[in-house]
Chain A
Amino acid sequence: MTTANTEPKAHSHGLGQIPVSKLDTHGSYDVAAFPVPNGREEEWRFTPVRRLKGLHDWKGTADGTDETVVDAPEGVTFETVGRDDERLGKAGLPVNRVIAQAYTSFEEATVVTVPQSLVADKPITIDRQALGGTAFEQLVIDVKPMAEATVIISNTGTGVRAGSLDVHVGEGAKLTLVSLQEWDHDTVEVSQHNARVGKDASFKSVVITLGGDLVRLSPRVSYEGRGGNAELYGLYFAGDGQYHEHRSLIDHNVSNTRSRVDYKGALNGSGAHTVWIGDVIIGEGTTGTDSYENNRNLQLTDDTRVDSVPNLEIFTGEVAGAGHASATGRLDDIHLFYLRSRGIPEEEARRLIIRGYFLDIVNRIESQELRDRVMEKVERKLAAHE
């Protein structure tokens, strides 16, 4: 099988064109570079292609509309720009046909800029409600050197959405990105988050996926200088028939960079299916990389399916730390027994345990209000099958 994903690529170690890794996908802005997926490709083998509502072989017109409310602290700029804006498409190539399609088809993009050294005193919030139809999108968040900001993107509503979110975290800057997928039950989303983490910069991503019929989200990180730190946290909870796929790739292309990936999921209801793919590449010639990834899944009912695939490829002997862990199981009946033996009814005991299970991920969100909102949704999904 030949796809755009297995070609050699220019790797940023100054070593020229070398085939690096099967994981280190090549990517292209050109839709034609990717064959129409049929679901048997490695890249698509978990995804129910038929439920993509035509995104994988797009022939329609993008007719989707959104209602978006933005709130930003003083100094942060929001711009709507055309296709020719030079700031677009700089954080990472589309890695599959749908993302390339979105890049080819979008008409307007949004660029959010946090100017140099600005320490935002409150989060930048983007509340987007999809009002139906199909839409292709590009959003760029550019955090200039030494700036600090939190961006909270809340996705609700119905429709088919595909696109890229490009993140630039400048030298010494700090960005926390919270992305909530609280879509209606029929929504389809395929998206890619590309983060470029600068020298001594910190990027924290918290992805919360609770809604949608099919959500396929690919967070990707690469580094522009030593001392870059990326932490990717995720929480997903798939109910009846929902499909949630998260596939992260951390490319330690620069020495002395750090990454942590910690995704936790739960499944509750017939046909719920979650996929987590965690790829980490420690590039040739690099030293001092510190990387760890973890995935946990809790199957709360029968007839749910979990796929969890950590991949670690190391092309150097000089690694500070690298590891991964993955575990999938059911609610521990001994935990339940202990709480119930203290009089707590089963339903409440389950709620307490699930809350506890997700707590370390949810606590990565600074806003108490937002934490409560996420937990409330989690509990509502849990209650759906009691």
Chain B
Amino acid sequence: MTKFEIRGLRADVLISEDERQEILKGVDLTINSGETHAIMGPNGSGKSTLAYAIAGHPRYEITEGEVLLDGENVLDMEVDERARAGVFLAMQYPVEVPGVSMSNFLRSSVTSVRGEAPKLRQFSKELQGAMKNLSIDAAFAARGVNEGFSGGEKKRHEILQLELLKPKVAVLDETDSGLDVDALKIVSEGINRAQADSDLGVMLITHYTRILNYVKPDFVHVFSEGRIAESGGPELADVLESEGYERFAKAGA
């Protein structure tokens, strides 16, 4: 049983050397293992900042608050330590790293997170199976990390990493954006598999309710103006679907 708690989190985006702007204005949220929390909100409300701040992106700086994984403050950890502790971020815009092959990268990553190098043959079997589940062609393993991948291919590879790394909590930042319905189904199945596999806690950041037909949330939170403006059950998503975010945008203004 894992408890992931965000308490009073405030964070700035670092725009340039002497320019910054506060984006997160006190976020509180608790995710227990096995739970799925959908974070929904208008563009620019700070959803992605929340994701990046948790992972330790260099363009953001936490100014206040804490993020606890079973009582340990992950904000005191280096970026790679956070991942090894069991926090995973599926990025909205996965980064291309030229020249580093996907298979090399995944093996290094799995080795670091599991604390020992998997046997080559075993790992290659595991990788092939995981790729097949996500309808990723085996040829991708030899390509550079995300290099020249389409948006959908990048998202599938983020979920591939989720399945291989088996974190305790996953922050999925608009994993659904830019996917057609088929790809959305494949990616959603991957998320559900990961959850069934290891009782994963999921923070599902999305702008649209579409993915919620495939990944069922236990809780829905509306994010506005850098904080959670309202929380509820799955029915809140339906309200947002029919009414939009206007009410929250106004409330914040």
Which of A's residues lie within 8 Å of B, judged by CB?
A: 333-335, 337-346, 348-349, 352-353, 355-360
Central interface residue in A333, A344, A348, A349, by most chain B CB within 10 Å: A344
B151 in the interface, Cβ–Cβ < 8 Å? no
A341 touches B99 (CB 8 A): no
Interface centre among B80, B84, B105, B108 (most CB of A within 10 A): B80
Q: Does any Cβ of A come within 8 Å of B71's Cβ?
A: no
B91 shortest CB reach to chain A, Å: 8
Selected contact of B78 from candidates A346, A348, A357, CB within 8 Å: A346
Q: A337 to B95, Cβ gap below 8 A? A: yes
List A contacts of B11 (CB < 8 A).
Answer: none
In the complex, are the beta carbons of B161 and A352 less than 8 A apart? no
A337 contacts B112, CB within 8 Å? no
By secondary structure, the A interface counts as helix
Q: Could you tell me the distance in whole angstroms from the C-beta of B144 to the nearest C-beta in chain A?
A: 7
Q: Within 8 Å CB of B58, what residues of A?
A: 333-334, 337
A to B CB contacts below 8 Å, 30 in the list: A333-B58, A334-B58, A335-B95, A335-B97, A337-B56, A337-B57, A337-B95, A338-B95, A338-B145, A339-B109, A339-B145, A340-B56, A340-B78, A340-B79, A340-B83, A341-B55, A341-B80, A341-B91, A343-B80, A343-B83, A343-B165, A344-B112, A345-B112, A346-B78, A353-B99, A356-B98, A356-B99, A357-B99, A358-B99, A360-B99
Q: Which 9 A-B pairs have the closest CB atoms?
A: A356-B99, A343-B83, A338-B95, A342-B109, A343-B112, A343-B113, A356-B100, A340-B79, A340-B80
The answer on a CB contact under 8 Å between A344 and B108 is yes
Give the residue name and chain of the B residue nearest to A335 (CB): B97
In the assembled complex, which residues on chain B have CB atoms less than 8 Å from the CB atom of A358? Answer: 99
Contact between A349 and B98, CB atoms less than 8 A apart: no
Instruction: Assess whether B105 is in contact with A339, with CB atoms less than 8 Å apart.
Output: yes
Residues of A within 8 A of B6 (CB): none
In the complex, are the beta carbons of B104 and A352 less than 8 A apart? yes
Which positions 26-53 of chain B face chain A at CB distance < 8 Å?
none
User: By the criterion CB–CB under 8 Å, are A346 and B80 in contact?
Assistant: yes
B145-190 residues at the A interface, CB under 8 angstroms: 145, 161, 165
Known: A337-B79, A349-B80. 8 other contacts (CB 8 A): A342-B80, A342-B105, A344-B108, A344-B109, A352-B97, A352-B105, A352-B108, A356-B99
Nearest opposing residue in chain B for A342, CB measure: B109
Q: How far is the CB of A53 from chain B (nearest CB, A)?
A: 37
List of A residues within 8 angstroms of B98 by Cβ: 356-357
Q: Is the CB of A356 within 8 A of B97?
A: yes
Given A343-B84, A349-B80, A338–B97 Cβ distance below 8 Å?
yes
Least Cβ distance of B168 to chain A in Å?
13
Minimum distance in angstroms from B75 CB to a CB of chain A: 14
Say yes or no for B69: interface residue by CB 8 A criterion: no
- The contact of A339 among B84, B97, B144, B165, by CB within 8 Å, is B97
Q: Is B9 an interface residue (CB 8 A)?
A: no
Shortest CB distance B155–A (Å): 14
By a CB distance below 8 angstroms, the chain B residues around A344 are: 80, 105, 108-109, 112
